Structure 1
Amino acid sequence: MREIPVIVQTVLDEYITLFHARLPNRLEGFYLQGSIALDAYVENSSDIDFIAIINRRLSEGEAEILAEIHRGIAGTYPKPEMDGVYLMWEDIGVVDAIDTNYPYYNEGKLSYGAHFNAITWWILKKHGISMIGPQPTALNFEIDPQHLVEYVVENMKTYWVGRIEKIEQAMENMFQFTTEEIDVEIEWSVLGILRQYYTLKEHAIISKLGAGEYALLHMPEEWHPIIKEAIDIRKSVDRERFPSDRERMDATLLFSKYMIDYCNSHLSF
């Protein structure tokens, strides 16, 4: 079994204890996915991504108790943040479903309306870590690699094209952004697109860092500086690879457009 970071185990031990105490006999499964499941946890950067299984929908009062549990955990442990959804067993493996009855916790609040896709279930089935419940490989669902590829192709043509267009428009007001905000955008865009590239090439899922390292082996050297920049941001490593924030963002835009065009031309279907 993969080793769970000590701080993650500490947070989850307290969370699970609180859940059982305040909502007894409700939690039947708890699975880690995301960077922890992909063995790519980065301290002070990665979240605790999870899928929790409850045995019936939460009432309004129970949802408030759950929100209180999360607020208490977040108050004690600001980092790493928990980020996940509460489902029932029959919900697992459902692709492209939007259900307003799914509670999910993200960025400090409990909301409703989680959306699932092939990537969610692929990571759970292939890499998920069971804290409570059967091992992920024993769960009763399968994901066809072709569905994974189809989802990524559509995601590149919609979400990523739209996101890059918005960034380009925002570049007209660069003075509004802090260096830290630019760091976040570079990491998200460069490594996010490279994760899509990896999936289209290998029909599998990889972490952000893994995608960056993979790209350094497969991408032309002209793109290595911005890829290394994104990797260093992810690792919280100091670097001085570009003279200005403007040039870093210009490189990010050029690379993102190149990758979208490349994937659509060479790796689509």
Structure 2
Amino acid sequence: MSDGLPRPVHEVLRFYLERMNEQQNGLLQGFYLYGSIALGDYYAHCSDIDFVAITEKRLNDSQYAIVISVHKEVEKRFPKSRMGGIYISWDDLGKLHTDIEPFPYYSDGRMKQAGYFELNLVTWYELKHHGIRLIGPAVEELGLTIDSKLFIQNMHINLNTYWMRWIHRATSKRHPSSLLVWLLGSRMEWGVLGITRLWYTFREHRVTSKVGAGEYALKRVPERWHLILQEAIRIRQGGGVSHYRSRKRRKADAIAYMQYMMQECNAMFS
């Protein structure tokens, strides 16, 4: 177990790995963390424990049942553990959905037997450059390769599909997302810092955390956008008094900022 993990994460994963070994010793041949923990941006109230679990072969029915039972135990002992990850074989490592069959994964407190959860170049990039090993060979020995051109292309597609739809729904009076962005600071923070991470990557060709991207933007975007960025960072870090007296203005600033980011990002590909 890595000594540098946040205490809540350490406790959850120690229990999880102990129970996995008790159920079937050696089933997990590799276990790696990526995402907010690996990027040094973990906050217990909102961050997930993102993982890649590797087995010799794809889970059979009895092994799948073991994994389900262990996750249920984890959820019972740590109701807010927020684990989410994929169960793949060594042969699957580094591949995309076009290259392999659907695989088991765990997300939002549920185990799914087949899907492509989080199978993308961002996952492999974060694992290659920031991953934390708990079981298995060192990250450097995994031999992960990233097609940097495809990496940027895929993120640009994500900008003009997922994030474009996100903004459209948040501005549509008939869509529930519009109300949620007004009501929930966490939803607003997701949008503001999420799209800012893409902008950072397009500029620097690297990946950073949400807070890291927000702090980066504060030094580079017009002052007009500083307040909404500071608000998003405050919410992400889970403390302090809001910089806004009006949720209506906060939502308006968030949407306007995200539309500004869309334009800035797409201008790089003109």
TM-score by length of 2: 0.92
Structure 2 counterpart of 1:11: 12
Structure 2 counterpart of 1:198: 200
Structure 2 counterpart of 1:123: 126
Residue 2 of structure 1 and its aligned partner are, at CA, apart by 7.6
Structure 1 counterpart of 2:92: 91
Relative to structure 1, the CA distance from residue 97 to residue 136 in structure 2 (aligned partners, 3 Å threshold; closer, same or farther) is farther
**Cα deviations across residues 215-248 of structure 1 (Å, max 9, x unaligned)?**
1011111001111111011011232322222221
3-state DSSP of counterpart to 1:187 = helix
Report the more deviating stretch, 211-220 or 75-84. 75-84
Report the more deviating stretch, 123-132 or 137-146. 137-146
Partner of residue 260 from structure 2, selected from 258, 261, 268: 258
3-state DSSP of counterpart to 1:83 = strand
The within-5 A match list for 1:39-188 is 39-97=40-98, 101-111=102-112, 112-115=114-117, 116-170=119-173, 177=180, 182-188=184-190
Q: How far apart in 1 are the matches of 2:256 and 2:194?
A: 15
3-state DSSP of counterpart to 2:215 = helix
Bigger helix share: 1
Contact 1:99 1:113 in 2 (8 A): no
**Cα deviations across residues 186-234 of structure 1 (Å, max 9, x unaligned)?**
1110010011011000000000111111110111110011111110110
TM-score by length of 1: 0.92
Q: How far apart in 1 are the matches of 2:192 and 2:181?
A: 18
Residue 23 of structure 1 and its aligned partner are, at CA, apart by 2.7
* Pair 1:35-2:36 in alignment: yes
Q: How far apart in 2 are the matches of 1:232 and 1:52?
A: 32
Relative to structure 1, the CA distance from residue 174 to residue 55 in structure 2 (aligned partners, 3 Å threshold; closer, same or farther) is closer
Report the more deviating stretch, 109-118 or 228-237. 109-118
Gaps of 5+ in 1: none
Structure 1 counterpart of 2:211: 209
Fraction of identical pairs, as percent:
36
3-state DSSP of counterpart to 1:37 = coil
CA RMSD in angstroms comes to: 2.1
Structure 2 counterpart of 1:20: 21
Contact 1:194 1:211 in 2 (8 A): yes
